[in-house]
Structure 1
Amino acid sequence: MKSNTDEVYIPVPPIRYELPEWYGNLFKQIKELVANERRRVMWEANRRMSMMYYHIGKIILNQSEQKGWGARIVDRLSADLKAAYPEMSGFSPRNLKYMQRFAKLWPDEEIVQRYVAQLPWRHNICLMEKTDKPNRRLIYAMAAIKNGWSKAMLELNLENFTLEREGKLPTNFDKILPDSQSDMVRQMFKDPYLLDFTGADRNSREKEIEDGLTNHITKFLLELGQGFSFVGRQVHLEMGGQDYYIDMLFYHLRLRRFVVIELKAIPFAPEMMGQLAFYQTVVDHTLRHQSDEPTIGLLLVKSKSETIVKYSLESINKPIGVASWETTITKEIADEWKSTLPTIEEIEKELDSGYQE
């Protein structure tokens, strides 16, 4: 006969509604702690792996330059590393060559440690393959870290020259918006906007372009950038017994404000701003919640004179930006966009200044 001491005890957790009210917060606090620690461990493991790849690449680069050996040595090195560390991946000849290129393209190890090593390896391969400009690689690496871009998003932004276009449009934000908001709001907009996904060309009519934007609204939202939410097309507004229709209406979740977009298939003309400002006023009076910020207006035109836009903006008391649109990226356009980026020296100077602060 078994004694009581031989009985097996199986703990049964109490039902949740039997627990005290504070238990939910206790579990949530511990769960968040575990999740944060797991992310920190994964981030640190990724950083250490990237630095290991960087140092391996540096050794291969230095030895190949000194001794002049090539692909056969890399193939042999790959086989030996796989045999020595069968549990590890990443030692293929192709990846070893990426490591060598990684070290060559990033000669400043401090930059690698502080920024580049924070990116997953696939992101760094994308940067190496998609751009040959050192300043462009660094700027996109930093943006990918800041915004948490996936590899696919990084690739799309590189191909579309997203950072070269951000914050470049002429606006009156400095005059209309508070100092604490104007720069941030401007960075949410681009010039020009790339509408290559619409199937339109430079001779398309407004309705054809608008149809393309609506039919590919997900792609248009990607082009607009993070935070934009689509409200509607040809949004009906009634004021003074008359009907008005906004081309496209969006709401920006981060800026907490509506954005009215008017699309034009013709060059900019000053009178376009009066209509847009009127639509902004109507939205502010009919749709805007008391906690929302004032509505922003974005005028998309086929082309524009910077001088005429500048003078036209001075007489408008609503926050408006004017951008052109393009349907293709030519080599001339790409070269012009690339030239707008700061140099490596300028970037490093700004980084050092911020680091010291």
Structure 2
Amino acid sequence: MRSKNNPFPLFENIKTIIAETQHYIVRNVNAAMILTYFQIGKMIVEDEQHGSQRAEYAKETLIYLSNELNKEFGKGYSVSNLEYMRGFYITYQHRISQTLSGKFDQLLKSQTLSGKSPIPFPLGWSQYVLLLKIKNEDERNFYEIEAAANNWSVRELQRQYNSALFERLALSKDKNEVKQLATKGQIIEKPADALKSHYVLEFLGLKEESKYSENDFETAIIDKLEHFMLELGKGFLFEGRQRRFTFEGDSFFVDLVFYNRLLRCFVLFDLKIGKLTHQDIGQMQMYVNYYDRKIKTKDENPTIGVILCKEENRTVIEFTLPQGSNQIFAKEYKAVLPSKEALKKQLE
């Protein structure tokens, strides 16, 4: 019998099964394509190994293959794409045993209706093409793990790489934790884990040399909230802007309030367009204290306060905050993409 709230449950049930089936089909088509390209790369590499003049032989072979495959199957087999397939096999051949990699039909049949697959290629081909351009293995592994875990599109993956996410996370970690980034991705266990060394806000369109107010800064973030939350990273939920509270007739406003579901705590952002001052830290301490004492519940963790400023002042931070503070942080923001080369040198 149909209820007033859901007069067509049959439609909803059919819609759900169709959506699940479409997802399964897309996922398995992608897996089949990736495996096909892996196998093509394997065959090219093995064929090259039998050539007496490898460099010239490989070039002529790829040109011939490209022409013939495009005639037979249409676009998608350019010389550059065949070179990527070759590089894909060379880079990732360790993920599939030699015994299994020679049995292409068994690899395809190993896909299951449950969506669980033993084939360790969770991304699309365009994403792997981008990853192949990253020479550092740890960095490449990190971006693959994060792209799969967060469902990054190619554009999002490119943006995270261009903004040097790996370097910005690695700068605040020791060697063991950096290695963990390459094997497990970003793990959020304590407040510092959720924060980057600095934030890149090039998507706001604010020029480094231009003059803008803190209200302009806040409005630009709200207008690009989806991009800002992508930059913040894992677990962040937007709670509101200009959250007001009053003491003895005086009103105070927290610029931006988020909640992090992984850390299970509020995260307050105060926006500053100038250099950090000790007054900024004192103000944030008051905001954090208020949320800890009046807003958060007993089963939630202590509130985190982040002062997002144009320029840090490490001396002020050192002598204003207690040693080992894990509630208040000052982080710089950049209005333009950073130099990856400079960050790599700093990391080294």
Superposed displacement of residue 296, structure 1: 0.8
Matches within 5 A, 1:79-94: 79-81=67-69, 86=73, 90-94=76-80
Aligned pairs, how many? 301
| Separation in 1, partners of 2:347, 2:335 | 22
Stretch deviating more after TM superposition (187-196 or 36-45): 36-45
The answer as to 2:52 corresponding to 1:52 is: no
1:195 aligns with 2:201: yes
Q: Which residue in 2 is equivalent to 1:160?
A: 163
Aligned equivalent of 1:122, options 126, 145, 151: 126
Q: Where does the alignment leave 5 or more consecutive residues of structure 2 unmatched?
A: 4-12, 98-117, 174-186
Bigger shift: 34-43 or 260-269? 34-43
Distance in 1, matches of 2:24 and 2:313, equals: 53
- Corresponding letter in the other structure for 1:326: K
Tell me which structure has the larger Cα radius of gyration. 1
Q: Which amino acid aligns with 1:126?
A: L
What SS does structure 2 have at the residue aligned with 1:166?
Answer: helix
- Kindly state the Cα deviation for residue 323 of structure 1 after the two structures are TM-superposed: 1.0
* 1:300 is aligned to 2:304: no
Helix, strand or coil for the counterpart of 2:81?
helix
Counterpart residue type for residue 194 of structure 1: V
What are the residue-to-residue correspondences of 1:226-305 with 2, within 5 Å? 226-305=234-313
Structure 1 unaligned regions, length at least 5: 1-14, 18-26, 171-180, 343-357
Q: Per the alignment, do residues 59 and 230 of structure 1 end up closer, same or farther by CA in structure 2, a change over 3 Å counting? A: same
Question: 1:56-205 maps to which residues of 2 (within 5 A)?
Answer: 56-59=43-46, 62=49, 63=51, 66=54, 68-69=56-57, 71-81=59-69, 86=73, 90-103=76-89, 106=91, 109-110=93-94, 117-129=121-133, 131-166=134-169, 168=171, 183-198=189-204, 199-201=206-208, 204=211, 205=213
The CA distance in 1 between the partners of 2:142 and 2:52, in whole Å, is 29
Counterpart Cα distance in 2 of 1:48 and 1:308: 55
Are 1:57 and 1:102, in contact at CA under 8 Å, matched by a contact in 2?
Answer: no
Displacement of 1:57: 4.5
Q: Partner of 2:220: helix, strand, or coil?
A: helix
Secondary structure in 1 matching 2:273: coil
**Conservation of the 8 A alpha-carbon contact between 2:162 and 2:337:** no
Q: Aligned partners of 2:75 and 2:210: how far apart in 1? A: 52
Tell me, yes or no, if the aligned pair for 1:235 and 1:245 is still in contact at 8 Å.
Answer: yes
Work out whether residues 231 and 251 of structure 1, in 8 Å CA contact, stay in contact via their aligned partners in 2. Answer: yes
Q: In structure 2, which of residues 191, 204, 216 is the aligned counterpart of residue 208 of structure 1? A: 216
> Is the partner of 2:54 in helix, strand or coil?
helix
- Given that residues 61 and 100 in structure 1 are in contact (C-alpha distance below 8 angstroms), is that contact kept between their aligned partners in structure 2? no
**Structure 1 residue matching 2:321: 3-state secondary structure:** helix
Indicate yes or no: 2:325 matched with 1:337: no
Contact 1:277 1:316 in 2 (8 A): no
SS state at 2:64 partner: helix
Task: Report whether the alignment pairs 1:223 with 2:239.
Answer: no
Q: CA deviation at 1:259?
A: 0.8
CA RMSD of aligned residues (A): 3.9
Distance 1:224 1:57 in 2: 42
**Quick check: 1:167–1:186 contact (8 Å CA) kept in 2?**
no
Distance in structure 1 (CA, Å) of the matches to 2:125 and 2:164: 22
CA distance 1:41–1:58, shift in 2 (3 Å): same
Distance 1:163 1:196 in 2: 17
1:325 corresponds in structure 2 to 333
1:308 Cα shift?
4.4
SS of residue in 2 equivalent to 1:300: strand
Whether the 8 Å contact between 2:163 and 2:338 is mirrored in structure 1 is no
Distance change (3 Å), C-alpha of 1:169 and 1:306:
farther
Q: Output the amino acid matched with 2:341.
A: D
Q: Taking structure 1 as the reference length, what is the TM-score of the superposition?
A: 0.68
Q: Distance in 1 between matches of 2:275 and 2:219?
A: 20
Task: Supply the distance in 1 between the matched residues of 2:228 and 2:267 (Cα, whole angstroms).
Answer: 14
Aligned partner letter, 1:286: K
